[in-house]
Amino acid sequence: MPCRAEEILKEIESLRKELERLALERGTADQEVLDLSRKLDVVINKFYQALKEKFPP
Protein backbone atom coordinates (compact mmCIF):
# COMPACT_ATOMS: atom_id res chain seq x y z
CA MET A 1 0.00 0.00 0.00
CA PRO A 2 1.48 3.37 -1.00
CA CYS A 3 2.35 5.78 1.77
CA ARG A 4 0.58 9.12 2.14
CA ALA A 5 3.49 11.03 0.58
CA GLU A 6 3.40 8.83 -2.53
CA GLU A 7 -0.34 9.41 -2.94
CA ILE A 8 0.12 13.15 -2.57
CA LEU A 9 2.97 13.07 -5.09
CA LYS A 10 0.64 11.49 -7.65
CA GLU A 11 -1.91 14.24 -6.98
CA ILE A 12 0.81 16.88 -7.43
CA GLU A 13 1.80 15.43 -10.79
CA SER A 14 -1.82 15.32 -11.96
CA LEU A 15 -2.47 18.92 -10.88
CA ARG A 16 0.80 20.08 -12.45
CA LYS A 17 -0.14 18.57 -15.81
CA GLU A 18 -3.62 20.11 -15.65
CA LEU A 19 -2.15 23.49 -14.68
CA GLU A 20 0.29 23.39 -17.58
CA ARG A 21 -2.47 22.50 -20.05
CA LEU A 22 -4.82 25.17 -18.72
CA ALA A 23 -2.13 27.87 -18.64
CA LEU A 24 -1.22 27.18 -22.27
CA GLU A 25 -4.90 27.27 -23.24
CA ARG A 26 -6.02 30.32 -21.25
CA GLY A 27 -2.88 32.19 -20.24
CA THR A 28 -1.23 32.55 -16.87
CA ALA A 29 -3.40 35.45 -15.71
CA ASP A 30 -6.68 33.53 -16.06
CA GLN A 31 -8.56 33.19 -12.77
CA GLU A 32 -9.04 29.44 -13.14
CA VAL A 33 -5.30 29.02 -13.75
CA LEU A 34 -4.52 31.07 -10.66
CA ASP A 35 -6.98 29.07 -8.57
CA LEU A 36 -5.48 25.80 -9.74
CA SER A 37 -2.00 27.12 -9.00
CA ARG A 38 -3.07 27.92 -5.44
CA LYS A 39 -4.57 24.45 -5.08
CA LEU A 40 -1.28 22.94 -6.26
CA ASP A 41 0.58 25.04 -3.66
CA VAL A 42 -1.66 23.63 -0.92
CA VAL A 43 -1.07 20.05 -2.07
CA ILE A 44 2.71 20.63 -2.26
CA ASN A 45 2.61 21.89 1.32
CA LYS A 46 0.68 18.74 2.32
CA PHE A 47 3.42 16.68 0.70
CA TYR A 48 6.16 18.37 2.70
CA GLN A 49 4.12 17.97 5.88
CA ALA A 50 3.71 14.25 5.16
CA LEU A 51 7.47 13.95 4.66
CA LYS A 52 8.11 15.69 7.96
CA GLU A 53 5.79 13.23 9.69
CA LYS A 54 7.49 10.26 8.04
CA PHE A 55 11.02 11.57 8.62
CA PRO A 56 10.98 13.80 11.71
CA PRO A 57 14.08 15.91 12.40
CATH number, domain containing residue 25: 4.10.280
* pLDDT at residue 56 in the model: 83
- Split into its structural domains, the chain has a count of 1
* pLDDT at residue 2 in the model: 64
End-to-end alpha-carbon separation of the chain, Å?
Answer: 25
The tens digit of pLDDT for each residue in 14-55 reads 999 999 999 999 999 999 999 999 999 999 999 999 888 888
The tens digit of pLDDT for each residue in 2-11 reads 678 889 999 9
* pLDDT at residue 31 in the model: 98
| Residue 29: half-sphere exposure toward Cβ, Cα within 13 Å | 0
Distance CA 16, CA 46 (A): 15
* pLDDT at residue 1 in the model: 45
Alpha-helix residue ranges (DSSP H) falling in 1-57 = 4-26, 31-54
The domain of 42 spans 4-54
